[in-house]
Structure 1
Amino acid sequence: MFIQTFVRKMSHNITSKLVNNADKAEKRLSELKSKLEQVKKFKVEEKIKELTQENETLLKKVEEAKLQLIKLETLNGKVQYPLPGKTTPVANNLNTPILEQPDVVKQTPAVKKEKKEKETAKKPKEKAAPTSTDIIDIRKLDLRIGKIIDVGKHPDADTLYVEKIDCGEENPRTVVSGLVNHVPIDEMRERIVMVLCNLKPVKMRGVTSEAMVMCASSPEKVEVLIPPNGAVPGDLVSCEGYPREPEPQLNPKKKIFETCAPDLKTNDDCVACYKDSALVVPGKGPVKAPTLKGVNVK
């Protein structure tokens, strides 16, 4: 009897502990689930915040890139038109005008044309005087004295020299000349020459040429022009009657040198001339060819 009572009591105690432990475990599990949800929520919010900041940064970079593009296009002469219903931020950031689209067309092309014809009939046409920018002659050529400080044969062309020429600038210019068959390399070294300095740089068999050595040329012979005694690198070459107004760089489309070339010749005294006016280094003398007379200078 005592044993049965003891067993029942022990069984009851064990059952109570198991129930109690189960309750504790369930409570603990509930707490862990709650904390897990909080962590998940925190991580999601943190990621959303991170992505939002990243998007704002990217949008800012896109706007900056747009402004930079508009600025570059405007500097290159491309007119900017704002989209209807949108304002453009360019005016606040750039000192460049933005043309606004007109809301109303005030005159039709036909009316404008008729008005223009009437004005033309009333006023005789006046021929505009050419400005210095319209004139194409030797004044646009930047001719200077240079000194060949280094010369060698072109690595990929047997008839070309590659020279380094001191033109009185911070760095020497690289010049490619087709003179191998006309002038021995020893005669090219340390030579004083006349150089055309404002040609557009052009690659010749892979080497960029930044100027041109001027020569007297006939079908049979080519001679490098000789500057006057005392001429030094950087001296400017002038032509009487044509004040120097050299372009920073000749525009190939205008064909300025090609227009001048037929009138660049040596005279009977072997002096290089443009339309019979001598090419000279002021105060030092004319530029001459060694022997060639009445031939083109190029």
Structure 2
Amino acid sequence: MDNLFNPSLEAALKKLDPEDGEQIVEYFKTHALLSREKALLQASVRDQKKLLVENGKLKKDIEQLRVQLQDKQRRRTVKALFSPPLSTISPAPTTPVNQPPSPAGAAAAVPTNPPPPSSHDQRERHSRRRRGERKARPTSDTLSLGAEPRVDVSRLDLRVGRIISVRRHPLAEALTVQEVDLGENAPRMVVSKLGAKTHLEELQGALAVLLCNVKACKVRGVVSKARLLCCSTSDDVSEMLVPPTGSAPGDRVTFNNYPGDPDRELQSKQRIWELIQPDLQVDCRGMANYKGCRFEVKGKGLCRAPSLTNCVIR
């Protein structure tokens, strides 16, 4: 602190005012020290702001590099998926050097057409191709560019539900609104078009089959979160499909010939329901089926129509 004040000036002040000169000198020294600390603090704030700006630039550069790296990895994955494996390239046939050419040898060297694959090999290859499509579809969106996904009933999430309540739609007389228990934490609201002769009071507490992985949509102001499956005739007579006795809300409806897990949600652009629905029918015995394979609740039985036969399911 003594170096902050000129010694000659200190001596002059003490000489001019012997009594208060020393206090004046201490005051000036304290003021000089505070000024220097203030200057150091301001310089530190400027350096901190500069570091914050540089830190922000570095974060932005790192984010850009991360995006570029992900893009390169994506392109590399697509290239690896769609490039032919090296094992499929068969080496050119070689002939022994010391063996003289002969007509029989020349005839043997001519490639012949392979025998047609047997039906068993075709089924195995088709099965492997289907399994590969099921595994490839959820891994990456890029795989759908080359592999055609399966379109069959296994992509539908069909489950048993119990109708808790049913009422007419407030804005459409032809529509009904059901509250359905599907074994979840909360019931789902479902908007359906039932036949005009349907008695709503008879539906309350009944079991039904519902398509549960449709996208929720608003129907005349009411959000519908599932689709109630009904069978109907050309005379506009319709009935709900009936699950087997002993079914419980949440039981899944499956098909023996079409194993696999359903989609989490059917995409409207793919029109999966529109492609599958024409093959959903009720046979002459009143049993619901898809291409002859019946609706089944494992360990409990088959789904059926109450009274209709030879009609479509919608």
TM-score (norm 2): 0.58
State the match for 1:191 in structure 2: 206
State the match for 2:45 in structure 1: 47
User: For residues 61 and 207 of structure 1, what CA distance do their matches in structure 2 show?
Assistant: 47
Residue 293 (structure 1) aligned with residue 309 (structure 2) = yes
The aligned amino acid for 1:139 is: S
State the match for 2:130 in structure 1: 131
Q: CA deviation at 1:182?
A: 5.5
User: For residues 302 and 227 of structure 2, what CA distance do their matches in structure 1 show?
Assistant: 19
Q: CA deviation at 1:194?
A: 0.6
User: For residues 55 and 162 of structure 1, what CA distance do their matches in structure 2 show?
Assistant: 59
Residue 80 (structure 1) aligned with residue 71 (structure 2) = yes
State the match for 2:292 in structure 1: 276
Match of 1:141 among 136, 156, 164: 156
Residues 232 and 313 in structure 2, CA contact (< 8 A), matched pair in contact too: yes
Residues 195 and 237 in structure 2, CA contact (< 8 A), matched pair in contact too: no
Residue 252 (structure 1) aligned with residue 268 (structure 2) = yes
Which stretches in structure 2 are left out of the alignment for 5+ residues?
Answer: 1-15, 78-110, 134-148
The aligned amino acid for 2:245 is: N
- Quick one: structure 1 residues 204 and 57, their matched pair in 2 at CA, closer, same or farther if it must change by over 3 Å? farther
Q: Percent identity?
A: 30
Choose 1 or 2 for highest CA Rg: 1
Instruction: Using the TM superposition, name which of 156-165 and 218-227 deviates more.
Output: 156-165
Instruction: Using the TM superposition, name which of 219-228 and 160-169 deviates more.
Output: 160-169
The DSSP-based 3-state class of the residue aligned with 1:235 is coil
User: For residues 242 and 99 of structure 1, what CA distance do their matches in structure 2 show?
Assistant: 34
Q: CA deviation at 1:44?
A: 2.4
The DSSP-based 3-state class of the residue aligned with 1:296 is strand
The aligned amino acid for 2:284 is: D
Which stretches in structure 1 are left out of the alignment for 5+ residues?
Answer: 1-19, 82-95, 101-121
Residues 230 and 313 in structure 2, CA contact (< 8 A), matched pair in contact too: yes
User: For residues 123 and 206 of structure 1, what CA distance do their matches in structure 2 show?
Assistant: 68
Q: CA deviation at 1:60?
A: 6.2
The alignment covers a number of residue pairs equal to 240
Q: CA deviation at 1:229?
A: 1.7
Q: Deviations over 1:57-109 (max 9, x none)?
A: 54466467658x84xx99xxxx514xxxxxxxxxxxxxx67859xxxxxxxxx
User: For residues 281 and 42 of structure 2, what CA distance do their matches in structure 1 show?
Assistant: 83
The DSSP-based 3-state class of the residue aligned with 1:80 is helix
State the match for 1:10 in structure 2: none
The aligned amino acid for 1:188 is: L
Counting only pairs closer than 5 Å after superposition, residues 1-298 of structure 1 correspond to structure 2 as 38=36, 41-55=39-53, 58-59=56-57, 62=60, 70=67, 80-81=71-72, 99=76, 129=126, 130-132=129-131, 133=133, 134-154=149-169, 157-179=172-194, 181=196, 183-219=198-234, 220-298=236-314
User: For residues 123 and 153 of structure 1, what CA distance do their matches in structure 2 show?
Assistant: 71
Residues 182 and 223 in structure 1, CA contact (< 8 A), matched pair in contact too: no
TM-score (norm 1): 0.61
The DSSP-based 3-state class of the residue aligned with 1:289 is coil
Residues 149 and 164 in structure 1, CA contact (< 8 A), matched pair in contact too: yes
Q: CA deviation at 1:38?
A: 3.0
User: For residues 54 and 160 of structure 2, what CA distance do their matches in structure 1 show?
Assistant: 58
